[in-house]
A and B are shown apart, each in its own frame.
Chain A
Amino acid sequence: MNINRLAAKLGEERQGQFMRSAVWTEAAHRGMTWQVAAKDKLAVREAATRLSADAAAVLAWMLRLFAATPVEGDKLLKEIRRNAALSGAECQVALAELEEAGILFAVRKVWGESLYFIPPDTFAPWQQAMIPFRPEPLAPREREKLMNGEMEPNCRPLGRQLLSAFAALAACGLGLTSKGTLNKKTISKLTESAELDDRQLLPFGLNWPHREHYPLKAAFILEAASAEGLLMTTADSLRWNVPAFGRWLELNEEERERRLLDWCLSMLLPACGSGAHAAAAIIGLKAGEWYAEREVSRFLGSSGIAAFAAEDAERDSAGLWCALFHALGWLERVESRSGGERQFFFKWVIDTDMDGAKSIVEEQAAPFRRWINVQPSGELIAEPECPFTARWELELLAERVSDERVTVYRLTASSIARALENGRTRQSIRRFLHDASGGEGIPREVEEMVADWTSRACRTSFAEAVLLRCDNEQMAAIVESHPVIAPLLLEKLGPAAFIVDPAHVGEIRRLLQQAGYPPRKGMQAADAADEARPYPDMVMFGDPAPGPEREVGKCLTDSPFAYVYETFPLHHFELAANAARERLLASAANRGSIPAMWTKQLREYHSSTRKELIEQALQWQTPVQLRMKQGLRSFVPERLEQKDGGWAVIGLLRDEPERQPIRLTPDMWEEMRLVIPGRSDPI
């Protein structure tokens, strides 16, 4: 469950409480809301310095042991106690601190078990803050390795790949088969239009419905649309959520990629177990610098993370993530071979920091200028900054020839016919080309091309009443004068329409085609509203007032994970507010009374009292302080041993370098006291 979905469940009051936690002091000071601060690298880095030592230890161990995978409360406590040498009560207090700051969350399963999780979109910033990875970028003198290496082919950023896929989907039609899936041809067009490959996605352990129909790539693309709220499902077809789609197209490219990266991580991190660590390490690196993949693997080993990922030991998680990020157009990757040694290097080409995206948004607000260059040959060259609203239209009007930094499209007779089929007209096409090219005149040759191509295709259309409509009287005259068509026209309606026998529709279509006037395909529907159109018009150049209301549709939009199963569907469970604090309060209530001195002062006690104190510590899962020969020591008791009339306690001496359980008999310390976590009693 990511931050946005949590925010929708939590309410503003609760989010406000998070921000009042001391942890977020700096972020609150800068006016950040929890929703923003929770994912912001800097805010998280600052927050990490303000965590109590126990909370920091608990969080670091949770990240290290379970990555972004949700974990049952008991298991979490057990593993952290074992590794962090904290007592149970200390863990509970630390968990409560993390919950109260909106860093960790728990859901309540049946039978009262709880599942703890870190929102997947905050996993990377927290890992980067708690287990920092700061490798040196490749030195300039080492760039020779890159120059001599093999660069992996360029992939377009995911947003552009999705745009092409959505355009292909729209052009094919959004109808669903009786099984509720898109038809084969549409799926194939959809997948062809994006470079991403199943091979890069499969290692991440995703699961998805309709596997027999949808390859993972298709499910991934549809899931992206669904997660962004762009598609809705009706009984027999998908439909665009036009306002949401419009807003998505209007996003600045950097921002869109950043959102897609977040979405991708939210879906994949919980699914891939300890593989998530590599992703978090990689995305924390600086854009524009080259790094060696093996540095990431080294880091995973040296930071102790790899040791807890035995089941994944064979997997090169850094390589898998780099290959995926490369396929999504977010990083460049070079394979270098020298002396039989094979090495990969990578460089981020998008800025994974939100701050970067913001500065570019501001830049994008620059005055309107030429987005495309219309060539007399019919080529349309789209500038890198060309907004997606214009690209969406270009995908319809023209064939994409190449798409890199600039995108080259070419107007063709069939692309213009496709545009007419989707409700565009000669005038609207001309207006678009004119506006998108910054008001520069369209070359005469292109005007003429468009005029020619629009003058033939789709000049006629069939209506529900089975009416043969012509676009003007001249066309009607051509139809009327056709020796074979004329007898099939039952009645003329107005200057340019005829009623025809439904049985003759096919025949008339054929004859018109033969005569060189191919009619518009299919039957024109009575309601041609934007939402119903497979290829809605999104262009609003120079139109200051937003046309369609571009608010995200709420009730109709597909919910996320409609096309790819969520690995841990936590939203099915009840979100537990402050689960750890509740447990603490419950155990405090059960504590009953003990002598105040047991916690307040270090004292020598009789062996039997010493045993009582230890029993109490075991019951409350608290540590004890012991004055031993070596000085004041912190001890976490684990169990009591009764032997030969005597007793001993097994537990961890926290400051021992070897974290092995140790056996203490009561004569081994001089003074002692109980330590209640969360209470600031003097020693």
Chain B
Amino acid sequence: MRDRYDKPLIVQSDLTVLLDESKPDAWQAREKLVLFADAVRRAGTVHTYKMSALTLWNAASAGICGDEICRWLTEYGRYELPFQTEAAVRKLSGRYGKLRLTTDGGKLLLHGDLDVMEELAHSASVTCFVLAKRSPDIWELKKEERGSFKQELTRLGYPVIDLAGYHAGEELSVRMKPITSAGGRPFALRDYQRAAVELFYKEGTVQGGSGVIVLPCGAGKTVVGIAALARNSRATLILTSNGTSVKQWKEELLDKTTLTEQEVGQYSGTMRQVRPVTIATYHILTHRSSKDAPFSHMKLFSERDWGLIIYDEVHLLPAPVFRMTADIQATRRLGLTATLVREDGCAEDVYSLIGPKLYDMQWKTAETEAYIAAVSCTEIRVPLHMDKEEPYREASARSKLRLAAENPGKMAIVRQLLREHEGKPTLIIGQYLNQLHEIADRLGAPLLTGEMPQQERQRLYERFKEGAISVLIVSKVANFAVDLPDAAVAIQLSGSFGSRQEEAQRIGRLLRPKKGDNSAWFYSIVTDETKETEFAMRRQLFMLEQGYRYDRMNMPIGALAEGDGAP
């Protein structure tokens, strides 16, 4: 047992794998591990990975079989591979490839190994899709239920390889441009972006055409989507999470492809443009006049002969869109996301309806390779302003948090940070509007809140992007896919307790690669000796688990400049 003490992996019987980064072979083990397991936590030197049916099938779709996985786990494992794990890996991996969907003369057929087909024959939830059994191992299925059938098989634990192919969709002439339109800068795909597109497209064969690409924020997911669109050259529907994102997709398309303004439509807010490339929000697709009314915009899926549907932020895909997606399995589908972890447990639907994971790049890898900026995170503790001490002591738990969050003592730190990073595009993010208004007044900086009309917001973004303003104060609207370009500094004044991912999303705003030293800074200002410290700790947990570290600075009372902290 002792001679294996230096091995980096500890495999548990619940399919969890711990990777001890301090061991000599850790790097080699990680290279293998990411092929068949998801990283759950990467704090410290021991990182937690988790295998599941989906990760194993994703691996199998990339040609990695159960035997190989067990061999790696044994080779790098510190202890004997638990039997339970070995059995589960072999069983789950072994099921991949045993079922295939094809078409024959316009009929949808299921081919399968006899043993699996026998097992499925006992399941009523499967047989209800069957029109006829041509032979024990070839069944004819209801063509229009291709998606639902795949969902059901995934639910039962049987992945199916969909080789039933796609209809081509409406032709569209589009190419990537070597020089961008807006800046006139040379443009080319990065190697990993090109690799991701090729894995998706697979020369237009039935082996490709559907799947998910996972890239960290800032690593150019939109560019990958656009390149896939250009490679496919067919009418494309792009679904994304909000109006701002719709605009950004459009700008990028016009900037980096030969598409013209007339070829790109926006379908969100008040816009209803259905053009060869149409960008819509999930929100509008799921809109309906009443709880029981039909989704009035879902018809968008059939309004043109789409050859590709791109699902941006696929981890946010809402249930009704899944249902719709089940009906359009003959259309190529590309999912883009920074994380496949879904809080709602719909990861299986992403697998069965969008497709397997095709490409995955870890955040820290992207940072090491300078594909994204290196962010340093700092928590700054400030004492509660003396005028607030008494009200704080007497306040209810809820008010205590607000008093701590709105601590006027934070102002001095904000000023100091702005001085330190003068000229760098900086976001100041907060939870409470009063506090944000006050800071905006004091700093003379613009404030962007949810109340601001979209056009006005857009104008502010533009000015920020151009460098006309270097400080932008934002409310929690900044949490959601507001891809503010090139913010290098973020100062968080306050945040919410419940959301584990809020801090990650805010830090995500800083990750686009930066000119020069490629660095960015995230500051979280917290009132010491109050409930806020506990909240801050909880918010930081997700980033700590992703391998980020926080420095902590304590600002003594005396450090606050006179007048800065006055309420």
Contact = CB atoms under 8 A, between A and B. Distances in A.
Interface of A: 146-149, 151, 154, 332, 334, 347, 363, 366, 373-379, 381, 384, 402, 404-406, 413, 443-445, 448-449, 452, 455, 482, 514-516
A147 B10 contact: no
A452 B11 CA distance: 34
B44 A406 contact: no
A366 B549 contact: no
A444 B2 CA distance: 31
A405 to B, nearest CB: 6
A147 B91 contact: yes
Nearest to B47: A375
Given A151-B87, A373-B44, A445 B10 contact: no
B41 A377 contact: yes
A377 B539 CA distance: 11
B429 to A, nearest CB: 22
21 contacts: A147-B86, A148-B91, A149-B87, A151-B84, A154-B13, A154-B82, A332-B84, A363-B2, A374-B44, A376-B44, A377-B41, A377-B544, A377-B545, A381-B18, A384-B79, A404-B16, A405-B10, A405-B82, A449-B537, A516-B392, A516-B531
Contacts of B79: 384, 405
B526 to A, nearest CB: 10
Given A148-B91, A363-B1, A373-B44, A482 B393 contact: yes
Contacts of A516: 392-393, 400, 529-531
A332 B87 CA distance: 13
B46 A332 contact: no
Contacts of B551: 444
Most buried by A among B10, B82, B393: B393
Contacts of B82: 154, 405
Contact of A146 (B44, B45, B83, B529): B83
Interface in B51-108: 79, 82-84, 86-88, 90-91
Contacts of A376: 43-44, 544, 549
Most buried by B among A154, A445, A452: A445
A650 B45 CA distance: 83
A482 B44 CA distance: 42
Most buried by A among B46, B79, B400, B549: B46
A196 to B, nearest CB: 18
Given A375-B44, A405-B79, A413-B534, A445 B550 contact: yes
Interface string B24-45: 0000000000000000010111
B529 A455 contact: yes
Nearest to B396: A514
B87 to A, nearest CB: 5
Contacts of B550: 445
A404 B87 contact: no
Contacts of B545: 377
A350 to B, nearest CB: 13
Nearest to A154: B13
Contacts of B549: 376, 445
A142 to B, nearest CB: 14
Contacts of A449: 537
A580 B28 CA distance: 70
A498 B316 CA distance: 57
A377 B18 CA distance: 15
A379 B84 contact: no
B14 interface: yes
B496 interface: no
A373 B529 contact: no
Interface residues of B, number: 42
A109 to B, nearest CB: 49
B20 interface: yes
Given A148-B91, A516-B530, A406 B544 contact: no
Given A154-B14, A377-B541, A514-B393, 13 more contacts: A146-B83, A146-B87, A154-B84, A334-B87, A373-B45, A374-B44, A375-B41, A376-B544, A377-B544, A379-B43, A402-B14, A445-B550, A516-B392
Contacts of B392: 516
A381 B41 CA distance: 13
Contact of A379 (B10, B41, B88, B530): B41
Contact of A151 (B12, B83, B530): B83
B207 interface: no
A514 B549 CA distance: 33
Contacts of B534: 413, 452
B519 interface: no
A392 to B, nearest CB: 22
Nearest to A515: B393
B552 interface: yes
Contacts of B541: 377-378
B326 to A, nearest CB: 31
B43 A375 contact: yes
Contacts of B552: 444-445, 448
B533 interface: yes
B348 to A, nearest CB: 21
What are the 7 A-B residue pairs with the smallest beta carbon separation, nearest first?
Answer: A375-B44, A377-B43, A377-B544, A404-B12, A375-B43, A515-B393, A151-B84
Contacts of A154: 13-14, 82, 84
A381 B84 contact: no
Contacts of A404: 12-14, 16
B393 A373 contact: no
A154 B14 CA distance: 8
Nearest to A144: B90
B374 to A, nearest CB: 17
Contacts of B14: 154, 402, 404
A600 B86 CA distance: 71
A452 B537 contact: yes
Contacts of A374: 44
Contacts of A332: 83-84
A298 to B, nearest CB: 24
Contacts of A402: 12, 14, 16
B542 to A, nearest CB: 9
Interface in B450-503: none
B286 to A, nearest CB: 35
Given A375-B46, A384-B79, A445-B550, A147 B41 contact: no
Contacts of B83: 146, 151, 332, 334, 347
A149 B531 CA distance: 51
Contacts of A373: 20, 44-46
Contacts of A406: 10, 12, 18
A623 to B, nearest CB: 55
A22 to B, nearest CB: 40
A168 B538 CA distance: 26
Contacts of B41: 375, 377, 379
B94 to A, nearest CB: 9
Interface in B100-119: none
B12 A381 contact: no
A379 B552 CA distance: 19
Contacts of A149: 87
A147 B44 contact: no
Interface string B532-566: 01100100110011000111100000000000000
Nearest to B550: A445
B16 A443 contact: no
B44 A443 contact: yes
Contacts of A379: 41, 43-44, 46
A151 B552 CA distance: 47
A482 B551 CA distance: 34
A471 to B, nearest CB: 14
Interface string B291-326: 000000000000000000000000000000000000
Interface in B348-382: none
Nearest to B395: A514
A413 B382 CA distance: 21
A452 B83 CA distance: 42
Contacts of B533: 452
